[in-house]
A = this chain, B = another copy of it.
């Protein structure tokens, strides 16, 4: 108990001193951000003039040019492109399915999962087996040959953290085709990864294993998943036909987009902020991760407006290919093996541009306490909590360098309502909520870049 008490006192002093040194700057950043709401203006531009931007697409190439120009306009000292090879998968024009019942034929709202093979022009057709888990599938393995497996385990609604609900359901999407093919199935339908019951399917990454046959996989809207489940219950069996024109091509060259404000005293010590520039090819990736992208550029814009620059370098990176490969994050980390830079901390925003509530921090306990000491400072931007655990997929690659990995966390209930679907558009983003995230990231980046870790 004594240790605990002493520790509290130390933390308290750190907090007070860390706060007073930076409060004036924090208020300046907050005032400028909220007056100008530029993150939202950039997001309008990105979603309106670039649109969605899947790795390997023309949209992504356009986004690279947009990102470079935006970072330059924001006031970065230097902006560069970091080469990286990325997957090239194309949805194509056709993604449709029909269910045949005793009452007739009805269309199902589906979309190809990212990475799936196509069905060929003739499509696939088979009886449907509905399961809620891989265990259930294994138990019914003898019935599965030649069938279409319908993975229909919903989100656990009782999870307050919808990310946990996603985590509890997403193996159906990522590994469903592998597990289904193992038991001889010819295709997969996966219930969309969302709590909402509506008619919009949600795409997302799926994988194959080299030793297992590749079979086509599509997401089905939750409304039609419920309908299909009811039909199976009522009719005993139904037949579904699926047509997908999706196709995978060879990897193509692409880029991370990077800009920085160089530190005055320790330019080789870096505080990284970032989001991922790629998105799925549904909606316009406004929350996922257009928001993180424009917030990360806004950090440069806000910090550039300060009368002096920070002691250490603040670098924004717009990562390539988070959605279906993480190649951008991996390429950036690989480069670090060979350069004399020290990445103190990396702050990622990839949980939607909603009202920010917390930062989640993955770091050793001393570093965690140092970052926690900025809580009072961050309350200028409305942050309530600094929590253990968190980060982001792209920056997770920096773990081996001892970098503190920090994720902006809005604890949003709405994120998976839109995620990877045509719902992910700018009308779901609130200008002030988005900006407050950028402000919070700016304040934290500034404080770490001044004080070190």
Residues of A within 8 A of B (CB): 1, 5, 8-9, 30-31, 34-35, 157-161, 195, 355, 357-358, 380-382, 384-385, 411-414, 430, 432-433, 436
Contacts and interface: CB of A to CB of B under 8 A. Distances in A.
Contacts of A5: 5, 8-9
Contact of A430 (B355, B357, B381, B413): B413
A157 B157 CA distance: 36
A160 B358 contact: no
Nearest to A380: B160
Given A5-B9, A34-B157, A34-B158, 8 more contacts: A30-B158, A195-B432, A355-B355, A358-B384, A382-B411, A384-B384, A413-B430, A413-B433
Nearest to A156: B34
Nearest to A27: B158
A385 B357 CA distance: 11
Contacts of A158: 30-31, 34-35
Given A8-B5, A160-B30, A381-B160, A430 B414 contact: yes
Nearest to A387: B384
A34 B436 CA distance: 28
Contacts of A382: 160-161, 411
Contacts of A8: 5, 8
Contacts of A195: 432
9 contacts: A5-B9, A8-B8, A30-B158, A31-B158, A160-B380, A160-B381, A161-B382, A355-B411, A355-B412
Contacts of A385: 384-385
Contacts of A413: 355, 430, 432-433, 436
Contacts of A35: 157-158
A357 to B, nearest CB: 6
A381 B159 CA distance: 10
B355 A34 contact: no
Contacts of A411: 355, 382
A139 B158 CA distance: 59
A159 B9 CA distance: 31
A195 B432 CA distance: 9
Contacts of A159: 34
A223 to B, nearest CB: 16
Nearest to A410: B355
